[in-house]
Amino acid sequence: MLLSVASDRAEAIEVERSYAEAKQFYDIATGVRTPTAAYFDDWKVHIKNIKLAEKTKDQMFKDVPLFVTRFPMLEEITKTNAKKWVSDLMVAGKTLSSVDRVLNSCRNYWRYLQTHDVVSGDHEPLKGLLNISKAAKSRNRVKDANLPYQSQDVVKLWEAAKVRPLGNAKDAPPDEQLADLIKVGAYSGARIEELCSLKLADVTDTMFRVRDAKTGAGEREVPIHSELKEVFERLIGQAEEAKDEYLFAGLTLNKYGDRSNAIGKRFGRLKKALGYSESYTFHSFRSTVVTQLENAHVTENLAADIVGHEKPNITFGLYSGGASLENKRKALELVKYPFKRV
C-alpha cells in the first residue's frame, strides 16, 4: 500500500515538476535515500544542551547548512565528493582556517548521525580532508588570518568611512563613528571589543586603561597617540553630551554581551566593498601596529606591553612590572600613516 501511494505521488510530481524531483521523493519515501538535513534540528537541540560558548554554537549552526546544501542526500557523501567540496570552498575564497572550522562543525554533525545509527560508524568521508598537521594548520591560520594592512590601506579604509557615502543610496551619510574607531585601532593596536568597551572613567589626557581583557597581559595602560588627541576629545564630548559612560557612545550589547558586534559588521561590509578578503579584519590593525613597531626596532617585550600580549621570555614575563607609560608612548609615536593634513 505504501509503495503504491509513493508511486502515485511520484508520478504526479513528475508531471507537475520533473523526473529528478519525482525520483528523489520516491527514494526518500521508500527509504532508499535519507535527507542529510533530516536530523539537523535534533542535532541543534543536542548542541544547545552541551557546554560550549554560545557564539561557537551559533557558528556551528551556520557551518553545517553549507554541508547540507552541498549534499542534500546522505548517500551522496563520499570521500571523493567531500574532497571536491573542500576544494570548491577554497576556490570560493574561504581561508584554510575557515574551511577547517566548517569541517569541524560538520564532523560533529556526522558523529551525531553515527551515534544514532543513521550512518555507519566505519564511514568517515570527512576524516583527514585537509591532510595537514596541527602545527601546519596553526602556521597557516596565522598566515591567512588578520594580515597587516599597509599604511595606505589604513588611510583608504578611514577615508571610505569618513568621506565617501556608505550604502546603496548616493546621499547615504558617512560613518563618522566607524572612521574614529578605525583611527583609534590603527594608532593603538587595541582589539575592537577593548575599544568599544572603553569607559570614560578609564580615559585620561594621556592614556586609556584596558580592563577585563581576554588575558592578564591584556589588562594594560595604552598611551594616547598624538594623532588621536583631537579624536579622543571629540569622542569624550559626544559621550558626555549623550550621558553615555562609554567612549564610543550609543553602541548596544548583542546577545553575547559584546558592544562591538554591530559596528564590527559595519567595518566588515566596508572593507569587503573595498575588495579586502577574509584575511583582513579589524584585528589586522593590531598586526599593522606590531609590524610597524618591529620595523622601527622596538623590542618585542615593549611591543607586547603595548598591545597586551604575554612576554616572550621568562625573565621579563615573570619578574618585570612592565614598560613605563613614557616608554610605551615613545614607541607608539613611531607608528605613522600618510593621512592628509586638513
Tens digit of pLDDT for each residue in 182-240? 999 999 999 999 999 999 999 999 999 998 655 555 689 999 999 999 999 999 999 99
Least confident segment among 30-44, 137-151, 290-304: 137-151
> Is the distance from CB of 311 to CB of 304 less than 8 angstroms?
yes
Q: Are residues 323 and 227 both part of a single domain?
A: yes
193 shares a domain with 264: yes
Decide if 70 is inside a domain.
Answer: yes
Q: Confirm whether 10 is domain-assigned.
A: no
Instruction: Average the pLDDT over 296-324 and give the result.
Output: 75
**Predicted pLDDT of residue 10:** 44
Segment 263-270 mean pLDDT: 93
Show which of 82, 115, 144 is a domain's final residue: 144
The band of 336, judged by pLDDT with boundaries at 50, 70 and 90, is: very high
Q: In this structure, are 105 and 210 located in the same domain?
A: no
* 68 and 156 housed in the same domain: no
- What pLDDT does 18 receive? 64
The C-alpha atoms of residue 81 and residue 123 are separated, in whole angstroms, by 13
Please give the mean pLDDT across all residues of the chain. Answer: 83
**pLDDT over threshold 50, residue 317:** no
Q: How many CB atoms lie within 10 A of CB 192?
A: 23
Residues spanned by the domain of 225: 151-332
Asked if 127 and 168 sit in the same domain, the reply is: no
pLDDT score for 110: 94
**Residue 25 falls within a domain, yes or no?**
no
Look at residue 15 in the predicted model and tell me its pLDDT: 58
Number of domains in the chain: 2
The reply to whether 4 falls in a domain is no
Q: Is 259 within 8 Å of 246 (Cβ atoms)?
A: yes
- Lowest model confidence (mean pLDDT) among 33-37, 62-66, 162-166: 162-166
Residue 71 shares a structural domain with residue 199 = no
Q: 244 or 255: which carries more pLDDT confidence?
A: 244
> For 77-125, how does the pLDDT look when each residue is reduced to its tens digit (9 = 90+)?
999 999 999 999 988 888 888 899 999 999 999 999 999 888 888 889 9
Taking residues 291-296, what's their average pLDDT? Answer: 96
Please say which residue of 99, 114, 144 terminates a domain: 144
- Mean pLDDT over residues 135-163, rounded? 78
Whether 201 and 324 map to the same domain: the answer is yes
Task: Give the separation between CA 305 and CA 244, rounded to whole angstroms.
Answer: 29
For the chain, what is the largest distance between any 2 Cα atoms, rounded to a whole number of angstroms? 85
pTM passes above 0.85: no
Alpha-helical (H) ranges within 242-278 are 261-273
Pair 198, 112 in one domain: no
